[in-house]
Chain A
Amino acid sequence: MSILNGLPILSFILLSPLVGLLVILLLPKERSSWMKTAAILTTLVPLALSLWLYAGYDKQQGGAGYEEQLSWVEVPLNKEFQNGVAEFVFKFQYSLGIDGISLPLVLLTALVTAMAALAAFHIKKRWKSFFVWFLLLEAGMLGVFLAQDVFLFFVFFEVTLVAMYFLIGIWGYFHRERAANQFLLYNGIGSAIMLLAFVLLVNTAGFRIEQAGEQASFIYSGSYADILRNMTDPAAWVNMSPEQLGGINPFQMTETMQWVLFIMLLVAFGIKLPIFPFHTWMLKVHTEAPPAVVMIHSGVLLKMGAYGLLRFGVLLFPEQAREWAVVLAALGVINILYGALLAFRQQEFKLVLAYSSISHMGIVLLGLAAFNELGMQGALFQLVSHGLISALLFLIVGSIHERTGTTELSELGGLARSMPFISGVLLTAGLASLGLPGLSGFIGEFLAFLGLFESMRWLTAAGVLGIILTAVYVLRAVLKITFGTQPEKYGALKDARLIEAIPMIVLLAFILLLGCYPSLLTDTVQNSVGTLFEPLFATRAGG
């Protein structure tokens, strides 16, 4: 540990993009290169901090020692209850924390955002507001993964929504406004459902007792730790302080209620993930948003859906999730095959990649449905891996589009001759995407299949069919672009500039590193999977 020890490093990570945002606001409007430099430098701060955090993370301790809490708003609800000793308070708190599940995603966010900032040279107008929204988006994403309070989580989730809305709507391609509206509408529905579920959760499982001398306060808050504790051990408070509660358990949740909440969360995060048939909103985002933004969208934002599903859906409602494991696995298989078959028939490269994301997110569902450590690890690995790979692919999409003005497959061909570097990176990214061992895509896939195979063989076998279809659509698209002969109209195309090559190499390096040395990620995740999922696996063993 170093001098940074003891400082609120999570808040530093969260707030650093906002500080950069303020600096950019102060810069003169016409100095676009200043703003770009400032933005890139800003994104490097959370990247450096989260790298440091990752390196120093104690794999045995888990997330302990990193909590940062501040009470934000306290609303007294009513003064008296039963025998008059208790006070009811609603607490809205600023509460950050990490564990082995969120930490890799924090690092992924910081990395992908920094690379996207480098790739943002495609942006040609309104630099200032672009980077303001861009950095706000980063803060929102980091907040989502750092938040330890459901309301805080929700607020950050909404921040990303608003920032994305403007990023798509202003800097996107031709149909940008429709894409932005569809994005907001669909995600808004998801958010509304999520908010309702959170309110119901806080209302019930957000209960805790705080003892201050003789006086005991009954508190309702969005604290994730409280909710998790109550959900795992519903009778804890009654057993601990029976006389104060007068034998009444204020935490009550019927089984029906649990089911309702679970399905609400499944839908809310399923839209984001996206789970078939909630996926159509993201197709337009992929084609219309600027490449730097799509890098973030498909690299990080989709992961928030999976993260939310895992954190709130599966972990808080293990019984329900377990009973629906087959449903989750079936949805995963549908995602894999449906996405792959549609990707195979697309004429627009960006749509190939969009459907490919659907297909790859299906593997995350398979991993979750496995209900063992292998599957969970596979799901998380797939999140990180797909984040890196899809960010890299959209980075290349941006570079190709800048040169040729198109990403239609029929218009492209033979780029390997004039752009050997970019074509080589594209081919490697494609191979990573189709799960070539040695690159990160394989590990997530393999672990998810391995985990799921324990309980659901036929569904696993159906999912494994996906690796054939993935090869089919990836090679079809990538070889169409790079192999063959180049249409004459493009003339001599220039290969990657340094500013394009750097993010490509960095992302590729991470993909290769994780592919060859997966323990780097799995060991970090292991402790948290072990402890957090213990009740889950216990229900499996018991059931």
Chain B
Amino acid sequence: MEMYSQAAWLIPLFPLAAFLVLTALGRSFRRAGVLIGTLGSLAAFVLSLFIVIDRLDANTVDYNYAFDWMKIGDYTLRIGFEVTNLTAMMLVVVTLVSFLVNVYSAGYMKNDERITVFYGYVSLFTFSMLGLVLSDNLLSLYIFWELVGVCSFLLVGFWYAKPKARAAAKKAFIVTRIGDAGLLLGILLLFWYMPGHALDFTTIQSVFDGQSGAITTGITTLIALLIFLGAVGKSGQFPLHVWLPDAMEGPTPISALIHAATMVAAGVFLIARTYDIFQDSAAAMETVAYIGGFTAIFAATIALAQNDIKRILAYSTVSQLGYMMMALGLGSLTGGVFHLFTHAFFKALLFLGAGSIIHAVHTQNIHEMGGLGAKMKVTAWTFAIGALALSGIPPLSGFWSKDMILTAAFETNPLLFFVGLAAAFCTALYMSRLFFLVFTGKPGAASSGAQESPVTMTLPLVVLAVPAVAAGFVETPWNGWFGSWLSGEAEAAHGSGVAIVASIAVGLLGIYVGWLVYGKGSVSRTALADRVPWLVKLLERSYYVDELYAVFVVKPLKLLGAILIVIDEYVIGGLVRLTGIATVSAGRLAARLQNGQVQTYSLAAVIGFVIIVIALVGRRFLP
């Protein structure tokens, strides 16, 4: 059997080459640009596929290659790549979604004058994300971690002339940077505590796995929490989730690629990659679980009251990422990663579907849509598949992964089990609200001229619908293939009848309630808003988190800056002026000695200098 894994370093180089060529070509080669970008991601996808097929055999060993990046004294910083089953899975997810988004954008971005720039950024992002996935140590992961952040920033702000896009891009970068600072500190801490200052995942695993006691629990918890802070920023967990809904200002294909399927899942991936550290600290695990659980329900409730189709999906993403975190925190590595895997497909599908709708109706307000099902059949059917998968309806992929998480919660933490169920109910409800408002009923204000999107856009939807339906079968309550493939250990069957029944029940109930209100219309849509207007308002405004940040972070920072400006100008600057005045008046005294000739000054300076030297040096030896 061949080892394609050895060639894994090539995978990120395809999109990188595409990026370089696109940048060099400039804006004029529009068609060629699209082709180059798409080919780069296709090549990466094909090679990734080979690798994962190669690795389906359970006995495949991990492949690792690293080299010295910097040698400083006794310390060596290394860069390398590593192919494990987890990374192989991520490779396929990233390259597949990236390839489909490339194809899709050929239609979606067709009339944008900067389409080659767009493809360049997408290629750069794909390169960075693949680099992140392949990294064999925390330092190189951090490097790519920052790079994907920048690509996300560039693409959110792609339509740079829009003030909203500018603000959103800035916010995305800065808020995630808060998390990045935490991750950086975690790396620093790890560097000084790890034996041999190693930062690679293999060593981390052996150090923390062996319970060697080399690192105390307190420090372990601290390291884990700092790493988690990085994940909170990147994966939009409370309280650093605020950037993700705003990031919807970017082109919709980007929302599918970066803000649904790949980059935002990097936080989950990071924790999965350093899971041994977390497992050594019960406190850290609990924090992850509770933050995740809280985020899941928190964001799901917000999604209930949003009217912008992309913001609904964005809050849904935040909520689903919360599920993944909760699974990790509850000790179910497989559950978290499995949900990451299925979510990537159905959420990318939903976003691309949303893009297809927006492309047709030129609005993002779901109340202006309606009755699109008949006009956009492919979009409607594929969207329905995505929505059902997200709502956790069997046998679609989302059901299996969500069920696994709920089972894990059911067995260990009843509180989080109920939180998860409540979030699942909300999920089904907001998705059915979205679906019925958009696709059924009377045509809305913007629906009149709508027609199905071109085949470049619908084809990716159809392709994504396949894994959205079927990807869940790799891991069912009766067959734990995925888990054992991932961890290399056979996992016990984990079915729990109660969890399955409850999970299906809340999903169906959510859809039913949604149908009653938004489909059949037997309950007034404004019934809730009429009775508890403050609650609806609270949800619409996303619990006023942005406003809280403005009051407690932004304003104080600005005020502090303003105070410092005054201090700088009057206190410190005043001292300078005082010195100036003193010197100038001293200078006036000596002014008579000056005649304006530079030669005289320099002569005086040299003479003075020599005198000082001789006086100081010579005096000591005089008798």
Contact B71 A277 (CB under 8 A): no
Contact B161 A483 (CB under 8 A): yes
A273-285 interface bits toward B, Cβ cutoff 8 Å, 1 = contact, 0 = none: 0000101110000
Question: A437 CA to B142 CA in the complex, in Å?
Answer: 8
B604-623 interface bits toward A, Cβ cutoff 8 Å, 1 = contact, 0 = none: 00000100111011101110
Contact of A518 among B70, B170, B564, B622 (CB under 8 A): B70
Question: A234 CA to B442 CA in the complex, in Å?
Answer: 94
Contact B579 A522 (CB under 8 A): no
> Shortest beta-carbon distance, A298 to chain B, in Å?
18
Question: A482 CA to B165 CA in the complex, in Å?
Answer: 13
Main secondary structure of the interface of A (DSSP, over half): helix
> Shortest beta-carbon distance, A187 to chain B, in Å?
12
Tell me whether A75 is interfacial, beta carbon within 8 Å.
Answer: yes
Chain A CB count within 10 A is highest, among B161, B192, B575, for B161
Contact of A447 among B68, B72, B174, B562 (CB under 8 A): B72
Known contacts A476-B170, A526-B73, A530-B73; is-contact A185 B617 (Cβ 8 Å): no
Contact A526 B72 (CB under 8 A): yes
**Inter-chain contacts of A483 with B (CB < 8 A):** 157, 160-161, 165-166, 169
Give residues of chain A (411-425) contacting chain B, Cβ–Cβ below 8 Å: 414, 416-417
Contact B181 A345 (CB under 8 A): no
Chain B CB count within 10 A is highest, among A202, A342, A436, A454, for A342
> Shortest beta-carbon distance, B9 to chain A, in Å?
15
Question: A483 CA to B160 CA in the complex, in Å?
Answer: 5
A469-498 interface bits toward B, Cβ cutoff 8 Å, 1 = contact, 0 = none: 001100110010011110000000000000
**Inter-chain contacts of A81 with B (CB < 8 A):** 621
Tell me whether B568 is interfacial, beta carbon within 8 Å.
Answer: yes
Give residues of chain B (176-192) contacting chain A, Cβ–Cβ below 8 Å: 177-178, 180-181, 184-185, 188-189, 191-192
Contact of A344 among B73, B163, B557 (CB under 8 A): B557
Contact A437 B143 (CB under 8 A): yes
Question: A253 CA to B166 CA in the complex, in Å?
Answer: 60
Known contacts A374-B75, A438-B143; is-contact A280 B568 (Cβ 8 Å): yes
**Inter-chain contacts of B72 with A (CB < 8 A):** 373-374, 377, 447, 522, 526
Known contacts A341-B561, A530-B73; is-contact A453 B181 (Cβ 8 Å): no
Known contacts A345-B565, A374-B73; is-contact A182 B150 (Cβ 8 Å): no
Tell me whether A210 is interfacial, beta carbon within 8 Å.
Answer: no
Tell me whether A153 is interfacial, beta carbon within 8 Å.
Answer: no
Tell me whether B526 is interfacial, beta carbon within 8 Å.
Answer: no
Give residues of chain B (554-601) contacting chain A, Cβ–Cβ below 8 Å: 557-558, 560-562, 564-565, 568, 572-573, 575-576, 579-580, 583
Stretch at the interface among A10-18, A110-118, A125-133, A459-467: A459-467
Contact B564 A338 (CB under 8 A): yes
Chain B interface size range:
35 or more
Give residues of chain B (148-204) contacting chain A, Cβ–Cβ below 8 Å: 150, 157, 160-161, 163, 165-166, 169-170, 173-174, 177-178, 180-181, 184-185, 188-189, 191-192
Tell me whether B280 is interfacial, beta carbon within 8 Å.
Answer: no
Contact B75 A373 (CB under 8 A): yes
**Inter-chain contacts of A450 with B (CB < 8 A):** 188, 191
Question: A143 CA to B53 CA in the complex, in Å?
Answer: 63
Question: A220 CA to B621 CA in the complex, in Å?
Answer: 12
Tell me whether B147 is interfacial, beta carbon within 8 Å.
Answer: yes
Contact A77 B618 (CB under 8 A): yes
Contact A468 B178 (CB under 8 A): yes
Contact B622 A464 (CB under 8 A): no
Give residues of chain B (253-283) contacting chain A, Cβ–Cβ below 8 Å: none
Give residues of chain A (336-385) contacting chain B, Cβ–Cβ below 8 Å: 338, 341-342, 344-345, 372-374, 377
Contact B614 A461 (CB under 8 A): no
Contact B558 A345 (CB under 8 A): yes
Contact of B564 among A341, A373, A482 (CB under 8 A): A341
**Inter-chain contacts of A88 with B (CB < 8 A):** 621
Tell me whether B146 is interfacial, beta carbon within 8 Å.
Answer: yes
Contact of B576 among A182, A464, A467, A468 (CB under 8 A): A182
**Inter-chain contacts of A485 with B (CB < 8 A):** 161
Contact B557 A468 (CB under 8 A): no
Known contacts A90-B613, A200-B616, A342-B568; is-contact A519 B70 (Cβ 8 Å): yes
Main secondary structure of the interface of B (DSSP, over half): helix
> Shortest beta-carbon distance, B573 to chain A, in Å?
5
Which residue on A lies nearest to B576, using beta carbons? A280
Contact B181 A417 (CB under 8 A): no
Contact A345 B580 (CB under 8 A): no
Tell me whether B65 is interfacial, beta carbon within 8 Å.
Answer: no
Which residue on A lies nearest to B558, using beta carbons? A345
> Shortest beta-carbon distance, A136 to chain B, in Å?
13
Tell me whether A199 is interfacial, beta carbon within 8 Å.
Answer: yes
Tell me whether B544 is interfacial, beta carbon within 8 Å.
Answer: no
Tell me whether B69 is interfacial, beta carbon within 8 Å.
Answer: yes
Tell me whether A203 is interfacial, beta carbon within 8 Å.
Answer: yes
Tell me whether A78 is interfacial, beta carbon within 8 Å.
Answer: yes
Contact B572 A453 (CB under 8 A): no
> Shortest beta-carbon distance, A316 to chain B, in Å?
18
Known contacts A280-B572, A345-B562, A467-B177; is-contact A90 B169 (Cβ 8 Å): no
Question: A464 CA to B184 CA in the complex, in Å?
Answer: 8
> Shortest beta-carbon distance, A286 to chain B, in Å?
14
Contact A185 B174 (CB under 8 A): no
Contact A90 B143 (CB under 8 A): no
Contact of A203 among B73, B160, B557, B620 (CB under 8 A): B620
Contact of B160 among A277, A338, A416, A454 (CB under 8 A): A416
> Shortest beta-carbon distance, B123 to chain A, in Å?
15
Question: A20 CA to B184 CA in the complex, in Å?
Answer: 48
Contact of B613 among A199, A454, A479 (CB under 8 A): A199
Contact A479 B174 (CB under 8 A): no
Question: A479 CA to B157 CA in the complex, in Å?
Answer: 10
Question: A507 CA to B502 CA in the complex, in Å?
Answer: 62
**Inter-chain contacts of B565 with A (CB < 8 A):** 342, 345
Tell me whether A54 is interfacial, beta carbon within 8 Å.
Answer: no
Question: A482 CA to B160 CA in the complex, in Å?
Answer: 8
Tell me whether A66 is interfacial, beta carbon within 8 Å.
Answer: no
Tell me whether A295 is interfacial, beta carbon within 8 Å.
Answer: no
Residues of A within 8 A of B (CB): 75, 77-78, 81, 88, 90, 182, 185-186, 189, 195, 199-200, 202-203, 220, 277, 279-281, 338, 341-342, 344-345, 372-374, 377, 414, 416-417, 431, 436-438, 442-443, 446-447, 449-450, 453-454, 460-461, 464-465, 467-468, 471-472, 475-476, 479, 482-485, 518-519, 522-523, 526, 529-530
- Please, could you name 19 A-B residue pairs with CB atoms under 8 Å apart, sorted by A? A78-B621, A182-B580, A202-B613, A344-B558, A373-B73, A374-B72, A417-B161, A437-B144, A443-B70, A447-B72, A453-B191, A471-B173, A475-B170, A479-B166, A483-B157, A483-B161, A522-B72, A526-B72, A530-B73
Pick the 8 closest A-B CB pairs, nearest first.
Answer: A373-B73, A345-B561, A437-B143, A483-B160, A483-B166, A453-B188, A471-B177, A77-B618
